[in-house]
Amino acid sequence: MLRDEMNSPDLKLPELYINRELSLLAFNLRVLAQAMDESIPLLERLRYLCISSSNLDEFFEIRVAGLIQRAALDSVQAGPDNLTPQEQLSRISIEAHELVAEQYRVLNEVLLPELEREGIRFIKRQEWNEEQASWIKEYFEQELSPILSPMGLDPAHPFPRILNKSLNFIVQLKGKDAFGRTSGMAVVQAPRALPRLIKLPGEGNDFVFLSSIIHAHVDDLFPGMKVLGCYQFRVTRNSDLFVDEEEVDDLLRAVEGELGSRRFGDEVRLEVADNCPDELSGFLLDQFELEADALYTVNGPVNLNRLMSLPDRVNRPDLNFTAFTPGMPSRLSHAADIFQVLRKGDLLLHHPFESFVPVIDFLRQAAADPRVLAIKQTLYRTGPGSAVVDALVNAARAGKEVTVVVELRARFDEEENIALANRLQEAGAHVVYGVVGYKTHAKMILVVRREEEKLRHYVHLGTGNYHARTARLYTDYGLLSADPDLGEDVHKMFLQLTSLGRGSKLNKMLQSPFTLFNGMLERIERETESARAGKPARIIAKMNALVDAQIIRALYVASQAGVEIDLILRGTCCLRPGIPGVSENIRVRSIIGRFLEHTRIYYFQNEGGKAELFCSSADWMERNLHHRVESCFPVEEKKLRERVIKELDYYLQDNQQAWALQSDGSYQRIAQGEAEPLSAQLTLLQQMSEAE
Backbone angles phi, psi at 267, to 5 degrees: -70, 140
Tell whether the torsion through CA atoms of 397, 399, 400 and 404 is positive or negative.
positive
SS3 assignment, position 610: coil
Question: Which neighbouring-strand residues pair with 227?
Answer: 173
Q: CA 300 to CA 271: how far, in whole Å? A: 11
CB neighbours of residue 337 within 10 Å: 10
| Category of 247 on φ-ψ map: left (φ > 0), alpha (ψ -120 to 50) or beta | alpha
SS3 assignment, position 634: strand
Q: How far apart are the first and last CA of the chain?
A: 52
Alpha-carbon distances, residue 389 vs 169, 336, 376, 404 (angstroms): 42, 22, 12, 10
Query: Given the DSSP bridges, would you call strands 474-481 and 347-351 parallel, antiparallel or unpaired?
Result: antiparallel
Contact of 235 with 169, CB cutoff 8 Å: no
Which residue type occupies 461?
L
**What string of H, E and C letters represents the secondary structure of 459-524?**
EEEECCCCCCCHHHCEEEEEEEECCHHHHHHHHHHHHHHHCCCCCCCCCCCEEECCCHHHHHHHHH
Query: What residue spans of 295-386 are helical by DSSP H?
Result: 310-313, 330-333, 338-343, 357-368
Q: CA 587 to CA 582: how far, in whole Å? A: 12
Tell whether the torsion through CA atoms of 473, 313, 382 and 21 is positive or negative.
positive
Kindly give, in sequence order, each residue whose CB lies less than 8 Å from that of residue 196, ignoring residues fewer than 6 positions away.
Answer: 167, 190, 209, 210, 211, 301, 303, 306
Contact of 613 with 543, CB cutoff 8 Å: no
Angle subtended at Cα 237 by Cα 233 and Cα 242, rounded to the nearest 5 degrees: 165
Backbone angles phi, psi at 624, to 5 degrees: -70, -35
Contact of 439 with 413, CB cutoff 8 Å: no
Alpha-carbon distances, residue 524 vs 186, 552, 655 (angstroms): 62, 10, 28
Which residue of the set 215, 217, 350, 441 is catalytic?
441
CB neighbours of residue 538 within 10 Å: 19
Query: Given the DSSP bridges, would you call strands 444-451 and 658-661 parallel, antiparallel or unpaired?
Result: unpaired
Which residue type occupies 170?
I
Query: Given the DSSP bridges, would you call strands 168-174 and 151-152 parallel, antiparallel or unpaired?
Result: unpaired
Closest of 281, 289, 353, 293 to residue 100, by C-alpha: 293
Contact of 629 with 512, CB cutoff 8 Å: yes
Closest of 155, 164, 19, 37 to residue 94, by C-alpha: 19
Contact of 574 with 580, CB cutoff 8 Å: no
Is 441 annotated in the active site? yes
Provide the annotated active-site residues. 441
